[in-house]
A and B are shown apart, each in its own frame.
Chain A
Amino acid sequence: MDALLHDHLLTLVVFIPAAGAALLLLFPRSAEGAARNLALAVSILDLAVSLPLWTRFALTQEGFQFREKLAWVPQLGISYSVGIDGISLLLVLLTTVLTPVALLFSLTHVEKEVRGYSIAFLILETGMLGSLVALDLVLFYVFWEVMLVPMYFIIGIWGGPRRIYASMKFFLFTMAGSLLMFLAILFIAIRYHAATGLWSFALEDVTRLTFTGYTETLLFFAFALAFAIKVPVFPVHTWLPDAHTEAPTAGSIILAGVLLKLGVYGYLRFALPLFPDAALRYAWLVGLLGVIGVVYGALVAYAQHDMKRVVAYSSVSHLGLVVVGVGAFTTMSLSGAVLQMINHGLSTGALFLLVGVLYERRHTRELDAYGGIAAVVPVTTALFLIATLSSIGLPGLNGFVGEFTILLGTWLSPHRWWAMAAATGVVLSAIYMLTLVQRVFWNPFANEANRTLTDIRPSEFIAAATLVVLMVWIGVRPNDVLDRIRPAVETLQKSVAARQIAEAGR
């Protein structure tokens, strides 16, 4: 039994939420409380099932673990092929942690169409987990696109006033990127067939292909665009502030926490190993866009009046830093980038959650509507402050480790000036985030309505506290996480180097 579980652990983790969604379909629409609790229970069960991934993950083993491979469309060599390395392990766990957190918050704050909401969330979780473990290009693409549909509904049905515009923009932007990737995937498999006479979409097979410079560049950009839109990298980031502002709180938590990471993840997992030459040739572009994102996101964040928009633009800035780390391509900068993805998921998830807590009580997110509420809602304030400090990289919390590793790794790469430029983002983030905290929690009382604010509820507290605990843990013991990331990053670098030697020899 245990061996069976072990062999199919990833499949279980990926499909438990989908099974929960199917179960929910059998519920009557009126059974809202039951739907709520079942969805939460399913996501917690999934978290529990995913924990053995962490404990059983072999630190020293190279390559993918928990592999499963089944033929799916055997005629074309499309397979249900899944497996994780250190990078996907952490993102999988981030997903299984953030989904119950988001659902826990939704317990008290979603009133309409609860059953549909729960179904959408669970399908979304399966989509995210599936894209994180897929090692077959078609399988990845299917999960990648399937995610769009529930997120579209979550923003469109349960979102704010401009939800229709935001959900449509989100869908069209993401789709625009991925359609080119779809053609590129087909093209790669056709090339593989031409070269070997066999059909395969499996990553381990198609990475053995080499392309001529021009073709490789085109394919690289087809993939990179899809991922850049998801991250989002400047200048294709414009869907993000709208989507975040309009999405319900739980949607924002997942969007910022996991969905954006999938862009970087896809780049690391697919674009880099498939097109190493082009990726390194255009590393300057990746780094440049990352740096622009860092500075631009930070400046725009400073100019916002809406708390959620501040956090949304801070995401553009923080993910810019992650992109810089990816572009620099040293072991350290890459490890830092992966770690920072996790950090950003935790801190931004917590920030969105706490903004949601305030919003549910005052029904406004305007900075000016608040002020001086630290004494009224001390627990919320404390949690918000910790999340903020984590977000701006205070030593002792997780954000510091990530930012420092990225910047140091980038400094050690040939692109020193990126590190210098990106470091301004760290300073700027302190300015706009602390300003936010000051204006919301400390400034003098601006509005009498704030006197009667109620503090955080137990369910909200548990959700936020979970994230805070993880922030502290990573801040104090970063090597628990970095030890799992490093081998994966080194393998990635090795494979890229090997491919380059192969291409140089050709």
Chain B
Amino acid sequence: MNDSFVHFTHADLLSIAPEIALLVAGCLILLVEAFAPALRRWFATIALAGVAVSLYFLVNAPAGTTFGGRYDTSPLTVFVGLFLGAAAVLAILVSRPYLERAGEERGEFYALLLWGHLGVSLMTRGLDLILIFIGLETLSLAFYVLAGFFRRVAASSEAGLKYFLTGAFGSAFTLYGIALLFGASGGTKLEELVRPGLGGNPAVAFGLLFLLVGFGFKMSLAPFHAWAPDVYQGMPTPAVAYLSVAPKGAALLVLFRVFSAVFQDGLPDRFRAGLAALAILSMTLGNVVALAQRDAKRLLAYSGIAQMGYVTIALVVFGRDALAAALVYFCAYLVSNAGAFAAVSALYRDETKAHPVALLAGAGRRAPFAAAVFALCLFSLAGIPATAGFIGKFFLFKAALEKGFYALALIGVANSLVSIGYYLKVVYILYMRDPVETEAPPALALADRLALALCAAGILAIGIFPSTVWEVARHAAATLPFAGP
């Protein structure tokens, strides 16, 4: 092992510049808060600039691996990086008016968001299990704090503690899995997992199983989902908008990478069956439990659990085409889910209280724009045609049917039908029930408006003109490293 971390080359630095930009932007916000608190109105702008610079470096980084084959720059990481960046931008846009309403305009919110984003970015670009783990922990630490951001609100502290305890548990599984893989393969780099016969080793099987638990936890895949509703409920909504989308996509990508490296000739049947069981359980449990939810954020949490069940079908199908379908699915999920949380953030006045769906009654009249985008997001999550959600499901089910997974596809569409029950319930409350609150909701801030408009535009753009995103996703998925033929 002579490729030590100590000798950075120029190429190494260029490849990691996107993450450095995020780090610097986070630090800058903290410094500004310490030395020039009067400039707090600029935090969001600095954060946005940080993300923009980071994306600029990402797009312009030369393709190839750096740090001795540990760090990936490829169309795939660029695609995922843009996806993550979009999630960060939406979250930051919503954050500013949200924190202003809550009277908690503190710089650490943005700094933690940026650093969490940095962690997710490491996860998606790392080709070394240790690096992936460091990314995972960076993300987790940042969001443990964000979950408990409202220190004086019991629900928020509860969310922080719950997320921390269960998250630490999940991380332990991940680390144990990494240790087992290291023991069996003798290395932590993904390329060292590419070895004939390795897949049959029981230590590797258990290692992968533990990784699946750890990342399944991040994806809030049933049965590792129990934290999500509680944490979403207490966490500031803009942070949820990010947490409910970006880390899930990253976790799925990591699973794709590790499984593709170990199983060059396709997924063995026992893993396939196990993953299919996870997918079915997650879809069904998420959708059925969501039917009974009365809190908007809990409802969206269970909807997210179900959505992750759908997208796990891609992992069962396996292969680059399935990854492309998953990428499209995640793009659709990003605009719909982040949009839904942005709407929730904009529609509730008191940030520190619960978010009962019933309070939204009559929002269609009181806050027409936010309500209309919310409804559009819900229709998209339900997979109604001409929205992004339909396109996501289209490619996903196409991939499943192509490889002969008829039962999974059938269970998937049956679940979509169930999900319409609760998505439409929210639409019904927005438009067809008389308001319980006479006061108008807060006037929509410009940033909220922008975030909602971006999501609506994204939903319709992907929904009506899907060929571009599919082409780019396919091109990106083709560069999945170490995958077999």
Contacts and interface: CB of A to CB of B under 8 A. Distances in A.
Interface in A361-414: none
Interface stretch (B123-131, B161-169, B417-425): B417-425
Interface string B462-475: 00001100110010
Interface stretch (B269-277, B351-359, B408-416): B408-416
A429 to B, nearest CB: 35
Given A142-B385, A168-B428, A183-B413, A74 B397 contact: no
Interface of B: 365, 368, 379, 384-386, 390, 394, 397-398, 401-402, 409-410, 413-414, 416-417, 420-421, 424, 428, 431-432, 466-467, 470-471, 474
Nearest to B420: A175
Interface residues on A, range: 35 or more
Nearest to A163: B432
A149 B398 CA distance: 24
B368 A29 contact: yes
A190 B420 contact: no
A200 to B, nearest CB: 14
Contact of A186 (B394, B417, B431): B394
Given A168-B424, A182-B413, 20 more contacts: A73-B466, A73-B470, A75-B471, A75-B474, A138-B394, A145-B384, A145-B386, A146-B386, A156-B432, A163-B432, A167-B428, A167-B432, A171-B424, A176-B417, A183-B401, A186-B394, A186-B397, A186-B401, A190-B398, A190-B401
Nearest to A146: B386
A153 B432 CA distance: 9
A271 to B, nearest CB: 19
Contacts of A163: 432
Contact of B413 (A72, A149, A153, A180): A180
A308 to B, nearest CB: 20
Contacts of B466: 73
B384 A183 contact: no
B467 A72 contact: yes
27 contacts: A29-B368, A72-B467, A73-B470, A138-B394, A142-B385, A146-B384, A146-B386, A148-B384, A149-B379, A152-B424, A153-B431, A156-B432, A157-B431, A163-B432, A164-B428, A168-B424, A168-B428, A172-B421, A175-B417, A175-B420, A176-B417, A182-B397, A183-B397, A186-B394, A187-B401, A190-B401, A190-B402
B428 A156 contact: yes
A156 B431 contact: yes
Contact of A74 (B385, B410, B421, B467): B467
Contacts of B402: 190
Given A74-B467, A190-B401, A179 B416 contact: yes
A15 interface: no
Interface of B is mostly: helix
A172 B384 contact: no
A171 B384 CA distance: 11
B424 A183 contact: no
A141 interface: yes
Contacts of A149: 379, 384
Contacts of A168: 421, 424, 428
Interface string A19-31: 0000000000100
A314 to B, nearest CB: 29
A318 to B, nearest CB: 29
B385 A172 contact: no
Interface string A143-176: 0111011001100110000011001100110011
A359 B51 CA distance: 60
Contacts of A180: 413
A180 B413 CA distance: 7
B420 A164 contact: no
Contacts of A171: 420, 424
A109 to B, nearest CB: 19
Which residue of B379, B385, B390, B431 has the most chain A CB atoms within 10 A of its CB atom?
A: B385
Contacts of B390: 142, 145
Nearest to B474: A75
A164 B426 CA distance: 12
Nearest to B425: A168
A193 to B, nearest CB: 8
Contacts of B470: 73, 75-76
A233 to B, nearest CB: 20
Contacts of B410: 183
A189 B385 CA distance: 18
A73 B471 CA distance: 10
A36 B395 CA distance: 40
Contacts of A190: 398, 401-402
A101 to B, nearest CB: 26
A56 B59 CA distance: 54
Interface in A8-59: 29
A180 B416 CA distance: 11
Contacts of B421: 168, 172
B420 A145 contact: no
Contacts of A142: 385-386, 390
Given A142-B385, A149-B379, A164 B417 contact: no
Given A29-B368, A176-B417, A190-B401, A145 B385 contact: yes
Nearest to B410: A183
Given A168-B424, A172-B420, A186-B401, A157 B413 contact: no
B428 A183 contact: no
B432 A164 contact: yes
Contacts of A167: 428, 432
A148 B386 CA distance: 12
A189 B398 CA distance: 9
Nearest to B466: A73
B319 to A, nearest CB: 15
Contacts of B471: 75
A179 B413 CA distance: 6
Nearest to B384: A145
Interface in A174-212: 175-176, 179-180, 182-183, 186-187, 189-190
A93 to B, nearest CB: 25
B426 to A, nearest CB: 12
Contacts of A146: 384-386
A72 B394 CA distance: 15
Contacts of A187: 401
B273 to A, nearest CB: 22
A230 to B, nearest CB: 16
A172 B419 CA distance: 10
Contacts of A75: 467, 470-471, 474
A172 B413 CA distance: 13
A188 B386 CA distance: 21
A29 B428 CA distance: 20
A183 B416 CA distance: 12
Contact of B409 (A76, A141, A183): A183
A172 B384 CA distance: 12
Nearest to B468: A73
Contacts of B386: 142, 145-146
A141 B413 CA distance: 15
A306 to B, nearest CB: 22
Interface in A87-144: 113, 138, 141-142, 144
A111 to B, nearest CB: 14
Nearest to A172: B420
A171 B467 CA distance: 28
